[in-house]
């Protein structure tokens, strides 16, 4: 079995639209939700990425049996308001969880921890349980 221990989520565009929304209103309109369907998640994994084949096709092309996926660090907004960071992490983690449920033989998930400057790392302990 070939395992890729360092992969990042390929999420539906709805996740990034959600991010733009919470950033634009700074949380003033409430948390909201990504609202991605299973079909949206499947479509993202089957769409071409980075000018090549899809995420799933790339795994097949190189013979990867299992990939461990986590959030893309540069997307996680650690310097933003702790509330926005928490909301976005939770939505991203949910996409990862659902991706793993849809493709249990292909993916294992690693959650992102919502961390912000000045906030104790103890606030992220609940995500480790």
- Whichever domain contains 98, its CATH number is 3.20.20.140
Q: Which domain holds residue 40?
A: 3-128
Give the number of residues written for the chain.
129
**b/e 67-97 (16+ beta carbons within 10 angstroms → b):** bebbbeeeebbbebeeebbbbbbbbbbebbe
80, two tokens:
């933003």
pTM value is 0.93
How far is 115 from 61, CA to CA, in rounded Å?
A: 35
Q: Taking the chain (129 residues) in consecutive chunks of 10 residues, what is each chunk's mean pLDDT?
A: 96 97 93 97 95 94 97 92 94 97 97 90 83
Predicted local distance difference test score (pLDDT) of residue 127: 79
Which residues face 109 on adjacent strands?
A: 69
Residue 67, CA atoms < 13 Å, CB-side half-sphere: 22
- Tell me if residue 66 falls in helix, strand or coil: strand
Closest Cα to residue 100, out of 89, 115, 110? 110
Could you tell me which residues come within 8 angstroms of residue 65 by beta carbon, excluding any fewer than 6 positions away?
1, 2, 3, 105, 106
Predicted local distance difference test score (pLDDT) of residue 106: 98
Predicted local distance difference test score (pLDDT) of residue 36: 98
Provide the domain count of the chain. 1
Torsion, Cα of 66, 68, 74, 79 (10° steps): 160
Predicted local distance difference test score (pLDDT) of residue 121: 87
């Amino acid at each position: 079995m070939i395992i890729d221990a360092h992969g990042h989520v390929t999420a539906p565009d709805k996740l990034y639209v959600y991010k733009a929304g919470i950033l634009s209103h700074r949380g003033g309109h409430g948390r909201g939700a990504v609202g991605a369907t299973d079909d949206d998640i499947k479509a993202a994994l089957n769409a071409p990425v980075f000018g090549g084949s899809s995420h799933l096709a790339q795994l097949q092309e190189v013979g990867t049996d299992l990939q461990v996926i986590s959030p893309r660090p540069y997307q996680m907004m650690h310097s933003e308001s702790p509330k926005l960071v928490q909301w976005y992490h939770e939505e991203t983690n949910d996409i990862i969880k659902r991706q793993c449920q849809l493709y249990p033989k292909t993916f294992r998930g690693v959650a992102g921890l919502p961390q912000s400057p000045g906030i104790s790392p103890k606030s992220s302990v609940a995500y480790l349980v």
